[in-house]
A and B are shown apart, each in its own frame.
Chain A
Protein backbone atom coordinates (compact mmCIF):
# COMPACT_ATOMS: atom_id res chain seq x y z
CA UNK A 1 0.00 0.00 0.00
CA UNK A 2 1.61 3.20 -1.10
CA UNK A 3 1.40 6.29 1.03
CA UNK A 4 -0.20 9.39 -0.40
CA UNK A 5 2.31 12.14 -0.88
CA UNK A 6 -0.08 15.00 -0.47
CA UNK A 7 -3.86 15.16 -0.21
CA UNK A 8 -3.90 18.26 -2.39
CA UNK A 9 -1.29 17.54 -5.05
CA UNK A 10 -2.51 14.14 -6.11
CA UNK A 11 -6.18 14.93 -6.80
CA UNK A 12 -5.18 18.25 -8.33
CA UNK A 13 -2.86 16.55 -10.81
CA UNK A 14 -5.50 13.88 -11.42
CA UNK A 15 -7.99 16.56 -12.29
CA UNK A 16 -5.66 18.70 -14.35
CA UNK A 17 -4.28 15.88 -16.49
CA UNK A 18 -7.25 15.45 -18.89
CA UNK A 19 -7.71 19.20 -19.17
CA UNK A 20 -4.08 19.66 -20.10
CA UNK A 21 -4.39 16.95 -22.73
CA UNK A 22 -7.33 18.82 -24.27
CA UNK A 23 -5.19 21.97 -24.19
CA UNK A 24 -2.36 20.11 -25.90
CA UNK A 25 -4.70 18.86 -28.61
CA UNK A 26 -5.96 22.39 -29.16
CA UNK A 27 -2.38 23.71 -29.45
CA UNK A 28 -1.50 20.96 -31.91
CA UNK A 29 -4.28 22.00 -34.29
CA UNK A 30 -4.04 25.72 -33.64
CA UNK A 31 -0.37 25.71 -34.61
CA UNK A 32 -1.05 25.89 -38.35
CA UNK A 33 -2.10 29.50 -38.33
CA UNK A 34 -1.98 30.71 -34.73
CA UNK A 35 0.37 30.39 -31.78
CA UNK A 36 0.91 26.76 -30.80
CA UNK A 37 2.13 23.77 -32.75
CA UNK A 38 3.56 20.34 -32.25
CA UNK A 39 6.41 21.44 -30.03
CA UNK A 40 4.17 23.44 -27.69
CA UNK A 41 1.70 20.55 -27.52
CA UNK A 42 4.53 18.19 -26.67
CA UNK A 43 5.71 20.48 -23.89
CA UNK A 44 2.24 20.64 -22.36
CA UNK A 45 1.93 16.85 -22.40
CA UNK A 46 5.46 16.70 -21.03
CA UNK A 47 4.44 19.00 -18.20
CA UNK A 48 1.53 16.68 -17.39
CA UNK A 49 3.90 13.74 -17.25
CA UNK A 50 6.31 15.66 -15.03
CA UNK A 51 3.47 16.57 -12.66
CA UNK A 52 2.28 12.98 -12.54
CA UNK A 53 5.78 11.88 -11.75
CA UNK A 54 5.98 14.40 -8.90
CA UNK A 55 2.64 13.26 -7.52
CA UNK A 56 3.73 9.64 -7.87
CA UNK A 57 0.89 8.90 -10.30
CA UNK A 58 1.31 6.37 -13.10
CA UNK A 59 2.21 7.52 -16.61
CA UNK A 60 2.96 5.49 -19.72
CA UNK A 61 6.69 4.88 -20.10
CA UNK A 62 7.14 4.25 -23.80
CA UNK A 63 9.92 6.72 -24.45
CA UNK A 64 11.99 4.93 -27.07
CA UNK A 65 9.12 3.76 -29.33
CA UNK A 66 7.62 7.26 -29.19
CA UNK A 67 10.88 8.96 -30.18
CA UNK A 68 11.56 6.44 -32.93
CA UNK A 69 8.02 6.65 -34.33
CA UNK A 70 8.16 10.43 -34.17
CA UNK A 71 11.37 10.56 -36.19
CA UNK A 72 10.01 8.06 -38.69
CA UNK A 73 6.85 10.14 -39.15
CA UNK A 74 8.74 13.40 -39.66
CA UNK A 75 11.32 11.88 -41.95
CA UNK A 76 8.56 10.30 -44.04
CA UNK A 77 6.56 13.53 -44.26
CA UNK A 78 9.75 15.44 -45.09
CA UNK A 79 10.77 13.02 -47.82
CA UNK A 80 7.30 12.25 -49.26
CA UNK A 81 7.21 15.30 -51.59
CA UNK A 82 10.27 13.90 -53.34
CA UNK A 83 8.06 11.14 -54.78
CA UNK A 84 5.95 13.76 -56.54
CA UNK A 85 8.93 15.69 -57.82
CA UNK A 86 8.68 18.41 -55.21
CA UNK A 87 11.57 19.49 -52.96
CA UNK A 88 12.28 18.21 -49.46
CA UNK A 89 9.84 19.38 -46.75
CA UNK A 90 7.38 20.76 -49.29
CA UNK A 91 3.85 20.71 -47.91
CA UNK A 92 0.41 20.32 -49.34
CA UNK A 93 -2.69 21.96 -47.89
CA UNK A 94 -6.22 20.61 -48.09
CA UNK A 95 -9.47 22.43 -47.37
CA UNK A 96 -12.53 20.49 -46.30
CA UNK A 97 -16.14 21.61 -45.87
CA UNK A 98 -17.49 19.75 -42.88
CA UNK A 99 -21.05 19.93 -41.57
CA UNK A 100 -21.42 21.91 -38.32
CA UNK A 101 -17.70 22.72 -38.03
CA UNK A 102 -17.37 24.61 -41.28
CA UNK A 103 -14.22 24.96 -43.34
CA UNK A 104 -11.30 22.97 -42.03
CA UNK A 105 -7.85 23.65 -43.37
CA UNK A 106 -5.25 20.99 -42.88
CA UNK A 107 -2.28 19.51 -44.65
CA UNK A 108 0.83 17.44 -44.50
CA UNK A 109 2.07 19.74 -41.74
CA UNK A 110 -0.32 18.00 -39.35
CA UNK A 111 1.40 14.58 -39.29
CA UNK A 112 4.72 16.44 -39.11
CA UNK A 113 3.52 18.27 -36.01
CA UNK A 114 2.25 15.03 -34.50
CA UNK A 115 5.70 13.55 -35.08
CA UNK A 116 7.30 16.51 -33.30
CA UNK A 117 4.90 16.08 -30.39
CA UNK A 118 5.76 12.40 -30.14
CA UNK A 119 9.49 13.18 -30.00
CA UNK A 120 9.10 15.86 -27.33
CA UNK A 121 6.84 13.66 -25.18
CA UNK A 122 9.22 10.73 -25.68
CA UNK A 123 12.18 12.81 -24.55
CA UNK A 124 10.38 13.99 -21.41
CA UNK A 125 9.42 10.40 -20.62
CA UNK A 126 12.98 9.27 -21.14
CA UNK A 127 14.25 11.97 -18.79
CA UNK A 128 11.74 11.18 -16.05
CA UNK A 129 11.87 7.45 -16.42
CA UNK A 130 15.60 6.88 -16.25
CA UNK A 131 17.04 6.44 -12.79
CA UNK A 132 20.59 7.67 -12.91
CA UNK A 133 22.89 4.86 -11.92
CA UNK A 134 26.43 3.92 -12.72
CA UNK A 135 26.92 1.02 -15.08
CA UNK A 136 28.18 -2.09 -13.34
CA UNK A 137 29.34 -3.64 -16.56
CA UNK A 138 32.54 -1.71 -17.08
CA UNK A 139 34.32 -3.74 -19.72
CA UNK A 140 37.81 -2.92 -18.57
CA UNK A 141 39.35 -0.18 -16.54
CA UNK A 142 41.64 2.10 -18.47
CA UNK A 143 44.71 3.25 -16.60
CA UNK A 144 44.98 6.92 -15.83
CA UNK A 145 47.74 8.82 -17.47
CA UNK A 146 50.37 10.12 -15.10
Chain B
Protein backbone atom coordinates (compact mmCIF):
# COMPACT_ATOMS: atom_id res chain seq x y z
CA UNK B 1 0.00 0.00 0.00
CA UNK B 2 2.82 2.42 0.84
CA UNK B 3 4.36 1.52 -2.51
CA UNK B 4 1.11 2.36 -4.31
CA UNK B 5 0.84 5.75 -2.62
CA UNK B 6 4.48 6.55 -3.36
CA UNK B 7 4.13 5.42 -6.97
CA UNK B 8 1.39 7.96 -7.71
CA UNK B 9 3.77 10.78 -6.74
CA UNK B 10 7.27 9.53 -7.56
CA UNK B 11 6.25 7.62 -10.70
CA UNK B 12 5.19 10.65 -12.78
CA UNK B 13 8.13 12.69 -11.47
CA UNK B 14 10.64 10.02 -12.49
CA UNK B 15 8.92 9.67 -15.85
CA UNK B 16 9.11 13.46 -16.28
CA UNK B 17 12.88 13.38 -15.80
CA UNK B 18 13.37 10.48 -18.20
CA UNK B 19 11.09 12.11 -20.77
CA UNK B 20 13.09 15.31 -20.41
CA UNK B 21 16.32 13.41 -21.00
CA UNK B 22 14.95 11.75 -24.14
CA UNK B 23 12.81 14.68 -25.24
CA UNK B 24 14.16 14.68 -28.79
CA UNK B 25 13.13 11.11 -29.47
CA UNK B 26 9.36 11.14 -29.92
CA UNK B 27 8.75 7.43 -29.41
CA UNK B 28 10.90 7.09 -26.27
CA UNK B 29 9.44 10.24 -24.76
CA UNK B 30 5.86 9.27 -25.43
CA UNK B 31 6.46 5.74 -24.19
CA UNK B 32 7.94 7.07 -20.94
CA UNK B 33 5.07 9.50 -20.44
CA UNK B 34 2.41 6.88 -21.09
CA UNK B 35 4.06 4.28 -18.87
CA UNK B 36 4.58 6.79 -16.04
CA UNK B 37 0.94 7.80 -16.18
CA UNK B 38 -0.24 4.21 -16.49
CA UNK B 39 1.72 3.18 -13.40
CA UNK B 40 0.30 6.13 -11.47
CA UNK B 41 -3.27 5.44 -12.59
CA UNK B 42 -3.04 1.73 -11.83
CA UNK B 43 -1.62 2.54 -8.38
CA UNK B 44 -4.46 5.00 -7.77
CA UNK B 45 -7.03 2.35 -8.63
CA UNK B 46 -5.20 -0.03 -6.31
CA UNK B 47 -5.37 2.58 -3.54
CA UNK B 48 -9.11 2.96 -4.08
CA UNK B 49 -9.68 -0.80 -3.80
CA UNK B 50 -7.52 -1.01 -0.66
CA UNK B 51 -9.06 1.99 1.05
CA UNK B 52 -12.58 0.91 0.15
CA UNK B 53 -12.15 -2.39 1.95
CA UNK B 54 -9.40 -1.63 4.48
CA UNK B 55 -10.05 1.96 5.51
CA UNK B 56 -7.79 5.01 5.54
CA UNK B 57 -4.08 4.36 5.01
CA UNK B 58 -1.51 6.79 6.32
CA UNK B 59 2.03 6.94 4.95
CA UNK B 60 4.61 8.59 7.21
CA UNK B 61 7.19 9.98 4.83
CA UNK B 62 10.71 9.22 6.05
CA UNK B 63 9.22 7.43 9.06
CA UNK B 64 8.81 10.69 10.98
CA UNK B 65 6.08 11.10 13.53
CA UNK B 66 3.13 13.10 12.07
CA UNK B 67 3.82 15.99 14.45
CA UNK B 68 7.30 16.38 12.98
CA UNK B 69 7.17 15.12 9.44
CA UNK B 70 4.99 14.86 6.39
CA UNK B 71 2.11 12.42 6.21
CA UNK B 72 0.30 11.28 3.10
CA UNK B 73 -3.26 10.32 3.96
CA UNK B 74 -5.19 8.10 1.58
CA UNK B 75 -8.69 8.40 2.97
CA UNK B 76 -11.74 7.50 0.89
CA UNK B 77 -12.16 11.06 -0.40
CA UNK B 78 -8.59 11.13 -1.73
CA UNK B 79 -8.86 7.57 -3.02
CA UNK B 80 -12.04 8.42 -4.95
CA UNK B 81 -10.72 11.58 -6.60
CA UNK B 82 -7.19 10.38 -7.37
CA UNK B 83 -7.91 7.63 -9.94
CA UNK B 84 -10.37 9.87 -11.80
CA UNK B 85 -7.83 12.68 -11.98
CA UNK B 86 -4.98 10.46 -13.14
CA UNK B 87 -7.13 8.59 -15.64
CA UNK B 88 -8.10 11.91 -17.21
CA UNK B 89 -4.48 12.92 -17.63
CA UNK B 90 -3.68 9.53 -19.16
CA UNK B 91 -6.48 9.87 -21.72
CA UNK B 92 -5.47 13.43 -22.54
CA UNK B 93 -1.87 12.28 -23.02
CA UNK B 94 -3.07 9.79 -25.65
CA UNK B 95 -5.00 12.59 -27.33
CA UNK B 96 -1.97 14.87 -27.11
CA UNK B 97 0.33 12.32 -28.73
CA UNK B 98 -1.95 12.09 -31.75
CA UNK B 99 -2.52 15.83 -31.88
CA UNK B 100 1.16 16.72 -31.70
CA UNK B 101 1.67 15.94 -35.32
CA UNK B 102 -0.92 18.55 -36.29
CA UNK B 103 -0.68 22.30 -36.18
CA UNK B 104 -2.75 22.58 -33.01
CA UNK B 105 -0.67 20.47 -30.71
CA UNK B 106 1.44 21.69 -27.82
CA UNK B 107 5.21 21.52 -28.19
CA UNK B 108 5.78 17.91 -27.08
CA UNK B 109 9.36 18.42 -25.93
CA UNK B 110 8.09 20.76 -23.23
CA UNK B 111 4.51 19.69 -22.71
CA UNK B 112 5.29 16.00 -22.20
CA UNK B 113 7.65 16.33 -19.20
CA UNK B 114 5.74 19.25 -17.71
CA UNK B 115 2.42 17.46 -17.83
CA UNK B 116 4.07 14.68 -15.81
CA UNK B 117 5.37 17.15 -13.21
CA UNK B 118 1.85 18.55 -13.02
CA UNK B 119 0.50 15.02 -12.54
CA UNK B 120 2.89 14.45 -9.66
CA UNK B 121 1.73 17.70 -8.09
CA UNK B 122 -1.92 16.71 -8.49
CA UNK B 123 -1.29 13.37 -6.74
CA UNK B 124 0.57 15.12 -3.93
CA UNK B 125 -2.15 17.75 -3.50
CA UNK B 126 -4.81 15.05 -3.24
CA UNK B 127 -2.90 12.79 -0.86
CA UNK B 128 -1.14 15.20 1.43
CA UNK B 129 -2.05 15.40 5.09
CA UNK B 130 -0.48 18.72 5.92
CA UNK B 131 -1.02 22.25 4.70
CA UNK B 132 2.55 23.08 3.84
CA UNK B 133 2.94 20.09 1.55
CA UNK B 134 -0.33 21.18 -0.03
CA UNK B 135 1.32 24.52 -0.77
CA UNK B 136 4.30 22.74 -2.34
CA UNK B 137 1.95 20.60 -4.44
CA UNK B 138 0.07 23.72 -5.60
CA UNK B 139 3.37 25.28 -6.63
CA UNK B 140 4.37 22.15 -8.57
CA UNK B 141 1.07 22.34 -10.41
CA UNK B 142 1.21 26.10 -10.96
CA UNK B 143 4.80 26.39 -12.12
CA UNK B 144 4.25 23.72 -14.74
CA UNK B 145 0.91 25.28 -15.69
CA UNK B 146 2.53 28.69 -16.27
CA UNK B 147 4.83 27.16 -18.85
CA UNK B 148 2.20 24.92 -20.41
CA UNK B 149 -0.11 27.89 -20.85
CA UNK B 150 2.35 30.25 -22.49
CA UNK B 151 5.06 28.09 -24.08
CA UNK B 152 3.88 28.68 -27.64
CA UNK B 153 4.54 32.38 -27.16
CA UNK B 154 1.50 33.65 -29.02
CA UNK B 155 0.35 37.14 -28.20
CA UNK B 156 -3.00 36.16 -26.71
CA UNK B 157 -1.40 33.43 -24.61
CA UNK B 158 1.23 35.71 -23.13
CA UNK B 159 -1.27 38.47 -22.45
CA UNK B 160 -3.83 36.30 -20.66
CA UNK B 161 -0.98 34.27 -19.16
CA UNK B 162 0.06 37.45 -17.35
CA UNK B 163 -3.31 37.64 -15.57
CA UNK B 164 -3.12 33.95 -14.79
CA UNK B 165 0.37 34.16 -13.32
CA UNK B 166 -0.34 37.32 -11.32
CA UNK B 167 -3.60 35.98 -9.86
CA UNK B 168 -2.02 32.68 -8.92
CA UNK B 169 1.10 34.25 -7.47
CA UNK B 170 -1.15 36.47 -5.38
CA UNK B 171 -3.09 33.49 -4.13
CA UNK B 172 0.13 31.57 -3.43
CA UNK B 173 1.38 34.51 -1.39
CA UNK B 174 -1.89 34.62 0.53
CA UNK B 175 -1.52 30.87 1.06
CA UNK B 176 1.91 31.38 2.64
CA UNK B 177 0.55 34.12 4.89
CA UNK B 178 -2.32 31.81 5.81
CA UNK B 179 0.16 29.08 6.72
CA UNK B 180 1.95 31.50 9.02
CA UNK B 181 -1.35 32.47 10.64
CA UNK B 182 -2.37 28.85 11.10
CA UNK B 183 1.00 28.00 12.60
CA UNK B 184 0.86 31.00 14.91
CA UNK B 185 -2.64 30.15 16.05
CA UNK B 186 -2.44 26.37 16.31
CA UNK B 187 1.27 25.53 16.38
CA UNK B 188 1.14 23.01 13.56
CA UNK B 189 0.29 22.63 9.90
CA UNK B 190 -0.66 18.96 10.13
CA UNK B 191 -4.32 18.70 9.14
CA UNK B 192 -5.20 16.01 11.67
CA UNK B 193 -3.87 18.05 14.58
CA UNK B 194 -5.45 21.18 13.11
CA UNK B 195 -8.79 19.42 12.95
CA UNK B 196 -8.45 18.97 16.71
CA UNK B 197 -7.15 22.43 17.57
CA UNK B 198 -8.86 24.87 15.18
CA UNK B 199 -12.40 24.15 16.44
CA UNK B 200 -11.24 25.05 19.96
CA UNK B 201 -9.79 28.43 18.92
CA UNK B 202 -11.64 31.69 19.68
CA UNK B 203 -14.37 32.30 17.12
CA UNK B 204 -12.77 35.35 15.51
CA UNK B 205 -9.49 33.56 14.73
CA UNK B 206 -11.30 30.45 13.61
CA UNK B 207 -13.63 32.13 11.12
CA UNK B 208 -10.82 34.45 10.06
CA UNK B 209 -8.67 31.47 9.12
CA UNK B 210 -11.62 29.86 7.35
CA UNK B 211 -12.34 33.01 5.35
CA UNK B 212 -8.65 33.46 4.51
CA UNK B 213 -8.32 29.95 3.14
CA UNK B 214 -11.63 30.35 1.34
CA UNK B 215 -10.02 33.21 -0.61
CA UNK B 216 -6.85 31.17 -1.21
CA UNK B 217 -8.58 28.04 -2.47
CA UNK B 218 -11.33 30.14 -4.06
CA UNK B 219 -8.83 31.83 -6.35
CA UNK B 220 -7.55 28.45 -7.51
CA UNK B 221 -11.11 27.23 -7.91
CA UNK B 222 -12.22 30.39 -9.74
CA UNK B 223 -15.24 31.27 -7.60
CA UNK B 224 -16.96 34.66 -7.85
CA UNK B 225 -15.40 37.28 -7.81
CA UNK B 226 -11.96 35.66 -8.23
CA UNK B 227 -12.63 33.96 -11.56
CA UNK B 228 -11.51 36.63 -14.01
CA UNK B 229 -8.25 34.86 -14.89
CA UNK B 230 -9.95 31.69 -16.09
CA UNK B 231 -12.11 32.49 -19.15
CA UNK B 232 -9.35 34.55 -20.73
CA UNK B 233 -6.45 32.22 -20.22
CA UNK B 234 -7.93 28.76 -20.75
CA UNK B 235 -9.14 29.16 -24.34
CA UNK B 236 -5.79 30.42 -25.58
CA UNK B 237 -3.81 27.31 -24.64
CA UNK B 238 -3.53 24.21 -26.86
CA UNK B 239 -6.58 21.92 -26.52
CA UNK B 240 -4.91 19.21 -24.51
CA UNK B 241 -3.54 21.68 -22.00
CA UNK B 242 -6.92 23.38 -21.62
CA UNK B 243 -8.60 20.00 -21.21
CA UNK B 244 -6.33 19.05 -18.31
CA UNK B 245 -6.56 22.50 -16.72
CA UNK B 246 -10.35 22.69 -17.01
CA UNK B 247 -10.79 19.15 -15.78
CA UNK B 248 -8.34 19.28 -12.91
CA UNK B 249 -6.87 22.55 -11.73
CA UNK B 250 -9.94 24.38 -10.46
CA UNK B 251 -11.09 21.06 -9.07
CA UNK B 252 -7.93 20.72 -6.99
CA UNK B 253 -8.85 24.09 -5.48
CA UNK B 254 -12.35 22.96 -4.60
CA UNK B 255 -11.00 19.59 -3.40
CA UNK B 256 -8.68 21.32 -0.94
CA UNK B 257 -11.52 23.58 0.13
CA UNK B 258 -13.82 20.63 0.81
CA UNK B 259 -11.08 18.92 2.82
CA UNK B 260 -10.02 21.97 4.79
CA UNK B 261 -13.39 23.52 5.54
CA UNK B 262 -15.17 20.32 6.54
CA UNK B 263 -12.30 18.96 8.64
CA UNK B 264 -11.88 22.27 10.46
CA UNK B 265 -15.64 22.53 11.04
CA UNK B 266 -16.05 25.92 9.40
CA UNK B 267 -19.84 25.59 9.30
CA UNK B 268 -20.39 29.18 10.43
CA UNK B 269 -19.11 30.24 7.00
CA UNK B 270 -21.92 28.23 5.38
CA UNK B 271 -24.23 31.14 4.46
CA UNK B 272 -21.35 33.12 2.92
CA UNK B 273 -20.24 30.09 0.92
CA UNK B 274 -23.79 29.51 -0.31
CA UNK B 275 -24.14 33.13 -1.41
CA UNK B 276 -20.86 32.96 -3.32
CA UNK B 277 -21.92 29.60 -4.77
CA UNK B 278 -25.20 31.01 -6.08
CA UNK B 279 -23.54 34.03 -7.69
CA UNK B 280 -20.75 31.86 -9.16
CA UNK B 281 -23.28 29.50 -10.77
CA UNK B 282 -25.32 32.30 -12.30
CA UNK B 283 -22.38 34.46 -13.42
CA UNK B 284 -20.75 31.45 -15.05
CA UNK B 285 -23.91 30.36 -16.83
CA UNK B 286 -24.77 33.91 -17.98
CA UNK B 287 -21.20 34.52 -19.05
CA UNK B 288 -21.30 31.36 -21.14
CA UNK B 289 -24.46 32.58 -22.89
CA UNK B 290 -22.76 35.80 -23.92
CA UNK B 291 -19.79 34.12 -25.62
CA UNK B 292 -19.42 33.26 -29.28
CA UNK B 293 -16.51 30.84 -29.14
CA UNK B 294 -16.81 27.15 -28.25
CA UNK B 295 -13.82 27.14 -25.93
CA UNK B 296 -14.86 30.35 -24.20
CA UNK B 297 -18.39 29.03 -23.60
CA UNK B 298 -16.91 25.88 -22.10
CA UNK B 299 -14.54 27.93 -19.93
CA UNK B 300 -17.43 29.86 -18.43
CA UNK B 301 -19.17 26.56 -17.71
CA UNK B 302 -16.18 25.56 -15.58
CA UNK B 303 -16.94 28.54 -13.34
CA UNK B 304 -20.64 27.83 -13.23
CA UNK B 305 -20.08 24.20 -12.26
CA UNK B 306 -17.68 25.16 -9.48
CA UNK B 307 -20.67 26.93 -7.93
CA UNK B 308 -22.51 23.62 -7.56
CA UNK B 309 -19.64 21.98 -5.73
CA UNK B 310 -19.30 25.02 -3.52
CA UNK B 311 -23.02 24.84 -2.79
CA UNK B 312 -22.68 21.21 -1.66
CA UNK B 313 -19.80 22.22 0.60
CA UNK B 314 -21.56 25.34 1.89
CA UNK B 315 -24.48 23.29 3.22
CA UNK B 316 -22.09 21.66 5.73
CA UNK B 317 -24.22 18.55 6.00
CA UNK B 318 -23.26 14.97 5.18
CA UNK B 319 -25.72 15.03 2.27
CA UNK B 320 -24.24 18.28 0.96
CA UNK B 321 -20.64 17.09 1.17
CA UNK B 322 -21.63 13.79 -0.43
CA UNK B 323 -23.18 15.69 -3.32
CA UNK B 324 -20.14 17.94 -3.66
CA UNK B 325 -17.82 14.91 -3.86
CA UNK B 326 -20.06 13.16 -6.37
CA UNK B 327 -20.24 16.35 -8.43
CA UNK B 328 -16.46 16.61 -8.37
CA UNK B 329 -16.05 13.05 -9.63
CA UNK B 330 -18.64 13.55 -12.36
CA UNK B 331 -17.40 16.95 -13.42
CA UNK B 332 -13.71 16.18 -13.98
CA UNK B 333 -14.12 13.71 -16.89
CA UNK B 334 -17.12 15.48 -18.42
CA UNK B 335 -15.38 18.84 -18.60
CA UNK B 336 -12.22 17.29 -20.02
CA UNK B 337 -14.18 15.47 -22.71
CA UNK B 338 -15.97 18.65 -23.74
CA UNK B 339 -12.67 20.44 -24.24
CA UNK B 340 -11.29 17.48 -26.18
CA UNK B 341 -14.34 17.64 -28.43
CA UNK B 342 -13.72 21.37 -28.74
CA UNK B 343 -10.23 20.47 -29.92
CA UNK B 344 -11.60 17.99 -32.44
CA UNK B 345 -13.95 20.65 -33.78
CA UNK B 346 -11.03 23.02 -34.11
CA UNK B 347 -9.04 20.34 -35.91
CA UNK B 348 -11.85 19.62 -38.32
CA UNK B 349 -12.87 23.14 -39.27
CA UNK B 350 -9.84 25.21 -38.34
CA UNK B 351 -11.46 27.47 -35.74
CA UNK B 352 -13.57 27.39 -32.62
CA UNK B 353 -15.62 30.50 -33.33
CA UNK B 354 -19.32 29.74 -33.62
CA UNK B 355 -19.88 32.15 -36.50
CA UNK B 356 -17.36 30.33 -38.67
CA UNK B 357 -18.46 26.80 -37.85
CA UNK B 358 -21.41 24.76 -39.05
CA UNK B 359 -22.79 21.61 -40.57
CA UNK B 360 -20.74 19.18 -38.50
CA UNK B 361 -23.72 16.94 -37.73
CA UNK B 362 -23.74 15.94 -41.40
CA UNK B 363 -20.02 15.89 -42.12
CA UNK B 364 -18.95 14.11 -38.94
CA UNK B 365 -21.86 12.60 -36.99
CA UNK B 366 -19.44 10.79 -34.66
CA UNK B 367 -18.23 14.15 -33.39
CA UNK B 368 -21.82 15.26 -32.80
CA UNK B 369 -22.45 12.17 -30.68
CA UNK B 370 -19.21 12.69 -28.74
CA UNK B 371 -20.30 16.24 -27.99
CA UNK B 372 -23.94 15.49 -27.19
CA UNK B 373 -23.34 12.99 -24.38
CA UNK B 374 -21.08 15.11 -22.14
CA UNK B 375 -22.99 18.29 -23.04
CA UNK B 376 -26.30 16.84 -21.88
CA UNK B 377 -24.53 15.41 -18.86
CA UNK B 378 -23.09 18.79 -17.95
CA UNK B 379 -26.49 20.40 -18.29
CA UNK B 380 -27.80 17.78 -15.87
CA UNK B 381 -30.20 15.78 -17.98
CA UNK B 382 -31.09 12.21 -17.05
CA UNK B 383 -29.81 9.53 -17.42
CA UNK B 384 -26.33 11.05 -17.53
CA UNK B 385 -23.95 11.49 -14.59
CA UNK B 386 -24.63 15.21 -14.33
CA UNK B 387 -28.24 14.48 -13.46
CA UNK B 388 -27.29 12.31 -10.49
CA UNK B 389 -24.75 14.87 -9.29
CA UNK B 390 -27.07 17.86 -9.65
CA UNK B 391 -29.97 15.98 -8.10
CA UNK B 392 -27.74 15.20 -5.13
CA UNK B 393 -26.76 18.84 -4.67
CA UNK B 394 -30.31 20.12 -5.03
CA UNK B 395 -31.77 17.47 -2.71
CA UNK B 396 -29.18 18.33 -0.09
CA UNK B 397 -30.13 21.99 -0.54
CA UNK B 398 -33.83 21.27 -0.12
CA UNK B 399 -33.10 19.24 3.02
CA UNK B 400 -31.41 22.25 4.55
CA UNK B 401 -34.17 24.55 3.20
CA UNK B 402 -31.64 26.72 1.40
CA UNK B 403 -34.34 27.83 -1.02
CA UNK B 404 -32.57 30.71 -2.74
CA UNK B 405 -29.45 28.79 -3.65
CA UNK B 406 -31.55 25.84 -4.87
CA UNK B 407 -33.45 28.19 -7.16
CA UNK B 408 -30.17 29.63 -8.41
CA UNK B 409 -28.91 26.10 -9.09
CA UNK B 410 -32.00 25.20 -11.10
CA UNK B 411 -31.85 28.44 -13.07
CA UNK B 412 -28.14 27.98 -13.79
CA UNK B 413 -28.88 24.45 -14.98
CA UNK B 414 -31.43 25.76 -17.48
CA UNK B 415 -29.03 28.46 -18.66
CA UNK B 416 -26.29 25.85 -19.13
CA UNK B 417 -28.59 23.85 -21.35
CA UNK B 418 -29.32 27.01 -23.31
CA UNK B 419 -25.67 27.75 -23.98
CA UNK B 420 -25.07 24.11 -24.93
CA UNK B 421 -27.88 24.54 -27.44
CA UNK B 422 -26.06 27.59 -28.71
CA UNK B 423 -22.94 25.50 -29.38
CA UNK B 424 -25.05 22.77 -30.97
CA UNK B 425 -26.78 25.17 -33.36
CA UNK B 426 -23.58 26.99 -34.23
CA UNK B 427 -21.34 23.99 -34.70
CA UNK B 428 -23.49 21.12 -35.82
CA UNK B 429 -26.37 22.69 -37.72
CA UNK B 430 -26.42 24.97 -40.70
CA UNK B 431 -24.25 24.93 -43.80
CA UNK B 432 -20.59 23.92 -43.56
CA UNK B 433 -18.23 26.89 -43.63
CA UNK B 434 -16.57 27.94 -46.84
CA UNK B 435 -13.32 29.29 -45.44
CA UNK B 436 -10.10 27.39 -45.81
CA UNK B 437 -9.70 24.55 -43.37
CA UNK B 438 -6.35 24.17 -41.61
CA UNK B 439 -4.07 21.17 -42.01
CA UNK B 440 -5.96 18.07 -41.01
CA UNK B 441 -4.44 15.20 -39.04
CA UNK B 442 -3.51 11.92 -40.68
CA UNK B 443 -6.17 9.19 -40.51
CA UNK B 444 -4.19 7.24 -37.90
CA UNK B 445 -3.89 10.28 -35.65
CA UNK B 446 -7.51 11.13 -36.17
CA UNK B 447 -8.50 7.61 -35.13
CA UNK B 448 -6.39 7.86 -31.96
CA UNK B 449 -7.86 11.27 -31.10
CA UNK B 450 -11.39 10.01 -31.61
CA UNK B 451 -10.79 6.86 -29.61
CA UNK B 452 -9.20 8.81 -26.74
CA UNK B 453 -12.24 11.09 -26.66
CA UNK B 454 -14.56 8.11 -27.05
CA UNK B 455 -12.92 6.33 -24.12
CA UNK B 456 -13.41 9.40 -21.98
CA UNK B 457 -17.08 9.63 -23.02
CA UNK B 458 -17.48 5.96 -22.14
CA UNK B 459 -15.89 6.80 -18.78
CA UNK B 460 -18.50 9.45 -18.07
CA UNK B 461 -21.23 6.97 -19.00
CA UNK B 462 -19.71 4.44 -16.60
CA UNK B 463 -20.02 7.03 -13.85
CA UNK B 464 -23.76 7.33 -14.45
CA UNK B 465 -24.03 3.53 -14.66
CA UNK B 466 -22.39 3.07 -11.25
CA UNK B 467 -23.95 6.20 -9.79
CA UNK B 468 -25.46 4.22 -6.91
CA UNK B 469 -22.14 2.69 -5.84
CA UNK B 470 -20.38 6.03 -6.27
CA UNK B 471 -23.04 7.76 -4.21
CA UNK B 472 -22.53 5.28 -1.37
CA UNK B 473 -18.75 5.72 -1.57
CA UNK B 474 -19.10 9.52 -1.65
CA UNK B 475 -21.35 9.30 1.38
CA UNK B 476 -18.75 7.28 3.26
CA UNK B 477 -16.05 9.76 2.18
CA UNK B 478 -18.22 12.67 3.32
CA UNK B 479 -18.84 11.01 6.68
CA UNK B 480 -15.09 10.57 7.02
CA UNK B 481 -14.63 14.30 6.47
CA UNK B 482 -17.48 15.66 8.56
CA UNK B 483 -16.61 13.34 11.45
CA UNK B 484 -13.12 14.72 11.97
CA UNK B 485 -12.42 12.12 14.68
CA UNK B 486 -12.22 9.42 12.02
CA UNK B 487 -9.50 11.34 10.17
CA UNK B 488 -7.62 12.18 13.36
CA UNK B 489 -7.88 8.59 14.52
CA UNK B 490 -6.39 7.34 11.26
CA UNK B 491 -3.38 9.66 11.42
CA UNK B 492 -2.80 9.11 15.15
CA UNK B 493 -3.72 5.50 15.79
Contacts and interface: CB of A to CB of B under 8 A. Distances in A.
B359 to A, nearest CB: 20
B23 A134 contact: no
A88 B20 contact: no
B100 to A, nearest CB: 11
Interface string A53-86: 0000000000011011111100110110010001
Given A78-B10, A134-B153, A87 B63 contact: yes
A143 interface: yes
If over half of A's interface residues share one DSSP class (helix, strand or loop), that class is named, otherwise mixed; here it is loop
B2 A87 contact: yes
10 contacts: A64-B20, A65-B21, A71-B16, A86-B63, A87-B2, A87-B63, A88-B6, A134-B153, A138-B152, A140-B350
Interface residues on B, range: 35 or more
Contact of B14 (A64, A72, A87, A91): A72
B116 to A, nearest CB: 10
B156 interface: yes
A42 B293 CA distance: 47
Interface of B: 2-3, 5-6, 9-10, 13-14, 16-18, 20-21, 23, 59-63, 72, 103-104, 152-154, 156, 236, 291-293, 296, 350-351, 353, 438
Q: In the complex, which range does the number of interface residues on chain A fall in? A: 20 to 34
Interface string A88-113: 11110000000000000000000000
A1 interface: no
Contacts of B438: 140
A88 B128 CA distance: 13
A79 B13 CA distance: 11
Interface of A: 64-65, 67-72, 75-76, 78-79, 82, 86-91, 134-135, 138-145
A91 B61 CA distance: 10
B302 to A, nearest CB: 17
Contact of A71 (B5, B13, B236): B13
- Most central of A71, A138, A141 by chain B CB within 10 Å: A71
Contacts of B152: 135, 138-139
B103 A139 contact: yes
Contacts of B350: 140
A64 B236 CA distance: 27
